[in-house]
């Protein structure tokens, strides 16, 4: 296959490859909201070429830096680039170059401090990692490791933000209901490093990768499931690179795992109450476009009794971003909000009453957007929807 993305040749070289055709412009969710050429991917590369390939540092102005960080890393630009530039990698490299010059937005300092001291992105200490589990019928069900247990990497957002605590609760409940043992790392789980990568602070993310990989190995976990696509993406694509070896375990996203359980007929539907719902599915960027997982979540939805799936105009590799990726919410929350509202509009156009995603960040920003718009649509994670029939 020669049609796939090409090996990244470094910031300066890839910036030179960009002809500025603007295919990226019309699909960029940030450009769609801001509207100036400076916010379009090609605009950022045009100046980036001068700065990073041409050495013209005086072009590295505050407004430009702002534009570089006004990006969700959704990679729709990479999908359509006729020169096959891996633009997602390009944006990360630009952020690293800016961070190396000490010019990154100040907000990332606090985030990095939190991660350094708490090992998670919240302001809470890491011993609260399992607070969400108090709401399980049997909180102990995730404590005891058995040799055949599936490891569950919960992720910072699902662990610490009550708004999305239903996601790990649902996932673990589904597992328990179907007789599958799950174990977690508890406070030994550290941030996967994704937010630091998005902030261009790759060096600081290394120790997190080393720690998590070591603890997973120590626990003898053979299969690791994440409900967070960004954790999944970081483990899948970043860890092998920085650790210099393949993962010691099989990594799957919860959507893949559940889809596999359904296929293997290991889900017991006997007590399941039909849902009678029309739903639409929002592909999270780090699960869909950036990891190529489109069918698994759809397979789950098509198999849940009483659920009808209707697609939005932009789906699969063309799915619109929710606005919550790439640390955008930290640097420009109103931009995230505007992008999310656009996605809600599209979901409403399908006539669905539930908007499903497979990502806690998408669920969080889309829920906020739906509330603001008073949209007659409920937003939930795929685990929540599946659990509904047993609840």
Partner 1 sequence: MLDQIKQDFGPRYTESYFERQFYTRDLAYIPNFLVSLVAKPLPEMVVRPVNAEEVSRIVTFASKNKTAVTPRAGGSTAVGGCVPANGGVVIDLNGLKGVVELNLDQEKVTVLPATTWAELDSYLRQQGYCVCSYPSSINAATVGGWLSGGGYGMGSIRFGPMVEQVSSLEVVLPSGEIKRLNRTTDPPLQWFAGSEGTLGIITQVEMKIRPIPESMGHYLIAAENSKALLQAARECVSELPDIIHNMHFNSKLLNDSLKRKGLTEEKLGDYHSLAIDLEEKNSSGLDETEDFLQKIVSKYGLAFMDQEIAMEEWETRFQSLKIMRVYPCLLGAEVLLPVASFHRYVEQVEALGRRAGVKMLTYGHVVSREGAVVMTLYPSDERQTWRYLCDTSLMREIYSIGRRLDAIPYLTGFWNTPYVKDIHSRKKLRELKRRKNLLDPGDIMNSGKVYRPPLLLQPNLYHLGMKTLGLVRRIWPKGVESHDRQ
Ligand X SMILES: Cc1cc2nc3c(=O)[nH]c(=O)nc-3n(C[C@H](O)[C@H](O)[C@H](O)COP(=O)(O)OP(=O)(O)OC[C@H]3O[C@@H](n4cnc5c(N)ncnc54)[C@H](O)[C@@H]3O)c2cc1C
Nearer to ligand X among residue 82 and residue 102 (C-beta): 82
**For residues 387 and 256, is the Cβ–Cβ distance under 8 A?**
no
Kindly identify the residues of this chain, within the stretch 162-191, that bind partner 1 according to CB under 8 A: none
What's the CA gap between 91 and 45, in Å, rounded? 9
Q: Could you give the CA distance from residue 379 to residue 384 in angstroms, rounded to a whole number?
A: 10
357: β partners: 381
Give every CB contact of residue 116 below 8 A, 6+ residues apart in sequence.
Answer: 204
Tokens of 105: 């937005």
Which lies closer to ligand X via its Cβ, residue 25 or residue 233? 25
311/298 Cα distance (integer angstroms) = 10
Per CB under 6 A, 21 contacts ligand X: yes
The pairing of strands 250-253 and 307-310 is unpaired
Question: Which is nearer to partner 1, 4 or 270 (by Cβ)?
Answer: 4
Of residues 286 through 315, those in contact with ligand X by CB under 6 A are none
Subset of 277-336 contacting partner 1 (CB under 8 A): 313-314, 318
13 binds, among ligand X, partner 1, none (CB under 5 to 8 A by kind): partner 1
Q: Interface residues for ligand X in 51-90 (CB under 6 A)?
A: 82
- Decide which of ligand X, partner 1, none touches 38; Cβ closer than 5 to 8 Å per partner kind: partner 1
Q: Which of residues 10-69 bind partner 1 (CB under 8 A)?
A: 13, 16-27, 35-38, 40, 43, 46-47, 54, 61, 63-64
Do the beta carbons of residue 131 and residue 169 sit within 8 Å?
no
83 binds, among partner 1, ligand X, none (CB under 5 to 8 A by kind): partner 1
Residues in contact with 337: Cβ distance below 8 Å, sequence separation at least 6, in sequence order? 323, 365, 368, 369, 372
Cα Rg of the chain (Å, integer): 21
Tell which residue, 99, 315, 331, has the closest CA to residue 323: 331
Residue 82 CB, shortest distance to ligand X, in Å, is 5
Report the phi/psi class of residue 158: left, alpha or beta, with left for phi > 0 and alpha for psi in -120 to 50. Answer: alpha
Q: Closest CB to partner 1 among 236 and 289?
A: 289
Give which of partner 1, ligand X, none residue 299 binds (C-beta under 5 to 8 Å, depending on kind): none
Q: Which of 85/359 has CB closer to ligand X?
A: 85
Rounded Cα distance between 228 and 157, Å, is: 9
Closest CA to 324 of 198, 204, 239: 198
Closer residue to ligand X, CB minimum distance, 23 or 353: 23
Chain residue whose CB lies nearest ligand X: 21
Q: Rounded to whole angstroms, how far apart are CA atoms 375 and 2?
A: 43
- Of 177-216, binders to ligand X (CB under 6 A) are none
Judge whether 319 and 290 are in contact, CB under 8 Å: no
To ligand X, the closest distance from the beta carbon of 321 in angstroms equals 23
Report the nearest approach of partner 1 to the CB of residue 334 (Å).
13
Tokens representing 179? 């007789």
Which listed option, ligand X, partner 1, none, makes contact with residue 25 (CB within 5 to 8 Å by class)? partner 1
Size of residue set near ligand X by CB under 6 A: 2
Residue 116 and residue 204: Cα distance in Å, rounded? Answer: 8
Binding mask 334-353 for partner 1 (x = CB under 8 A): --------------------
Q: Interface residues with partner 1 (CB under 8 A)? A: 1-3, 6, 13, 16-27, 35-38, 40, 43, 46-47, 54, 61, 63-64, 80, 82-84, 313-314, 318
Q: Interface residues with ligand X (CB under 6 A)? A: 21, 82
């Amino acid at each position: 296959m020669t049609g796939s993305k090409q090996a990244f040749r470094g910031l300066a070289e890839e910036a030179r490859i960009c002809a500025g055709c603007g295919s990226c412009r019309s699909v960029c969710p940030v450009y769609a909201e801001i509207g100036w050429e400076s916010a379009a991917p090609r605009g950022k590369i045009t100046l980036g070429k001068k700065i990073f390939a041409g050495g013209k540092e005086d072009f590295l102005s505050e407004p430009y830096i702002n534009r570089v960080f006004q990006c969700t890393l959704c990679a729709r630009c990479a999908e359509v680039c006729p020169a096959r530039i891996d633009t997602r990698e390009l944006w990360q490299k630009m952020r690293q170059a800016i961070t190396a010059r000490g010019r990154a937005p100040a907000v990332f300092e606090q985030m990095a401090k939190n991660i350094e001291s708490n090992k998670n992105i919240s302001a809470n200490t890491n011993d609260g990692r399992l607070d969400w589990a108090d709401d399980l019928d049997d909180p102990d069900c995730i404590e005891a490791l058995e040799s055949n247990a599936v490891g569950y990497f919960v992720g910072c957002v699902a662990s610490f933000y009550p708004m999305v605590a239903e996601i790990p609760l649902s996932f673990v409940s589904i597992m328990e209901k179907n007789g599958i043992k799950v174990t977690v790392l508890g406070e030994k789980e550290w941030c996967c490093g994704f937010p630091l990568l998005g902030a261009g602070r790759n060096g600081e993310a290394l120790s997190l990768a080393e720690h998590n990989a070591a603890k997973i190995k120590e626990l003898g976990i053979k299969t690791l499931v994440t409900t967070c696509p960004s954790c999944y993406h970081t483990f899948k694509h970043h860890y092998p690179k920085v650790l210099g070896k393949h993962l010691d375990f099989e990594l799957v996203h919860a959507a893949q795992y559940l889809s596999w359980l359904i296929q293997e007929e290991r889900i017991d539907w006997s007590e399941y109450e039909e849902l009678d719902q029309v739903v639409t599915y929002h592909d999270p960027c780090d699960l869909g476009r950036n990891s190529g997982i489109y069918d698994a979540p759809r397979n789950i939805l098509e198999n849940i009794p009483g659920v009808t799936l209707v697609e939005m105009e932009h789906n699969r590799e063309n799915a619109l971003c929710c606005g919550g990726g790439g640390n955008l919410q930290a640097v420009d929350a109103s931009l995230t909000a505007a992008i999310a509202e656009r996605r809600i509009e599209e979901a409403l156009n399908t006539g669905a009453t539930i908007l499903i995603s497979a990502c806690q960040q998408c669920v969080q920003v889309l829920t906020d957007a739906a509330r603001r718009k008073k949209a007659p649509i409920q937003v939930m994670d795929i685990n929540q929807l599946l659990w509904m029939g047993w609840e």
